[in-house]
Each structure stands twice: as C-alpha cells, then as structure tokens.
Amino acid sequence: MQDALIQQLVSDYLGDASPGGAIVLAGRRSDVHALNSLSRQQLQDHGRLPADSTTLTTAGGPLPLALGEQLIITRPVSNATGRKILNGTRLTVAAVNEQHVTVHDRKRTHLLDRASAAPALQHGYSLTVHKAQGLTVDTAYVWAEGLNHNALYTALSRGGHANHLYAASTPDGPALAGLRRQLPSRGGGVLALTGQRRQRESAPAAAAEVLRSRSTRPRPRPRLSSCPHPLPQLDRTQA
C-alpha cells in the first residue's frame, strides 16, 4: 500500500495547477530524497522535464539537473556578483555549462559557480517539514510517515487553500488517529484538510484542535470540507 500511496501523492502533486503553487512535505530526509526522485522521474516520463543536462557533486551524492529543474537552497550561498541567496530560497534552473548554473527565483536571475554552490543545492519538489517553516503555498501534499504531533501541525498549516495528508500508518498515535476520525477521506489513506486563506470567520475544525492541543502559537483555524477535490480556485480579489 505504501508504494502505491507514494505514487498517488506524487501524481496528485504534479497534477496540481494551483495559482499559488504546491509543495510536497515529509518528515525524513530519506523520504524527501525518494519523493524528489519520483517527481523528477514522472516529469521526465511525461515530457514535462527534459533529459538531464549535467550532474553536480554534493555531500548527499550526485545531483542531476535538467533545464526547468526545481531547486532549493539548503544553506546561504553567494552568486557571481556576491549577492547572498538565503537558505530556503526556491529556484528554477535556466541554463548550465561546465562552470556555472544559471537559476532564477521570483525576482531575479543568479549565476552560480558549480563547485561552490553544489553543496547548497537540492531538488525542490519535496521539502522536509522543518525546511518548510515559514513557507506558504496554495496546496501542500504531506507524507505523514515519521511526523510527530508538532510536525503534523506545521505541515498542515503550509497550504493556505488545501492540505492533503497521505498516511499509510499511524506514526504518532493519537494525533494522526484523531485526524483519521475527523477529517474527510478521499480513500486509500488520503485525508484532506481545506481552509480559505482570506476567510477569517471561525468554523468547526475538530481535526485542527487535535493538532492545536500542544501548540502555544495561535493560528487561523482551517475550514474542513467534505468535498476537497477538485479544489476551488482562490479568489484573489477579496483581500
């Protein structure tokens, strides 16, 4: 079941067209690596990512790169002009050659030295929950294995529009068991939590309370939906 569930998670993520973006989250680095590899494989199999252009050598092993590749900075690195790129910045590969990798974020283009930048780069389709703190996207796809109570809460607050939890087992007893009882299920181990980012009125959210019970930081309560898929489009005119 676990392999099929991972495949479903990646397929759902790659089929997401949310205007505010989507991300896959997991608790363990080994799971992040596997999810990144599977995402790349499916993208290349369907012609959405070209063949690898080069491979960088990193502390974590070889890092194959293709044009259009999604990356994330895992520690601060400087571009060719000396501008610092902060930890957690998400990048897209625009060009590669023997000495440099050209990437761009939402604001500017950066020329990176291959040798010095390689240790700070990893594929950015999937992130650890820890690395995703502070990140906000429209939809988060969360692999639940290995996540404790607090990590589950953090993961399920990354998607401002919807969060989908994929759970093949119960890693943290009461927390995930409570979610299983109270969240609407799409079947096959997929639980769905949806919430409108621009809607501030309170709504019944028992599942959110399960995760909130050990949290001291107040957060907006998500709204539960019995029809989480397909996702409604976020109306960005209602600020």
11 plus 62 within the same structural domain: no
Q: Is-contact 71 54, C-beta < 8 A?
A: no
Is 68 inside a domain boundary?
Answer: yes
Question: Which residues does residue 78 pair with via DSSP β-bridges, in sequence order?
Answer: 84
Tens digit of pLDDT at every position of the chain (239 positions): 578 889 999 999 999 988 888 999 999 999 999 999 999 999 999 999 999 989 998 877 899 999 999 999 989 999 999 999 998 899 999 999 999 999 999 889 999 999 999 999 999 999 999 988 888 899 999 998 888 888 888 888 898 888 888 887 655 555 566 666 556 566 556 666 554 333 322 222 334 444 443 433 444 444 433 333 333 343 434 43
- Give CA–CA dist 155/153, Å, rounded: 5
Is 42 inside a domain boundary?
Answer: no
174 plus 112 within the same structural domain: no
Is 226 inside a domain boundary?
Answer: no
Alpha helices in the chain (DSSP H): 2-14, 29-45, 114-117, 149-155, 174-182, 206-212
Question: What is the domain count for the chain?
Answer: 2
117 plus 151 within the same structural domain: no
CATH number at residue 85: 2.30.30
Is 58 inside a domain boundary?
Answer: yes
116 plus 143 within the same structural domain: no
68 plus 135 within the same structural domain: no
155 plus 196 within the same structural domain: yes
pTM over 0.85: no
Is 83 inside a domain boundary?
Answer: yes
pLDDT for 170 equals 52
Is 88 inside a domain boundary?
Answer: yes
As given in the structure block, the two tokens for residue 119 are 């240790």
83 plus 18 within the same structural domain: no
pLDDT for 198 equals 30
pLDDT for 194 equals 55
Domain holding 75, by residue range, is 54-123
100 plus 137 within the same structural domain: no
pLDDT for 202 equals 28
201 plus 187 within the same structural domain: yes
Is 195 inside a domain boundary?
Answer: yes
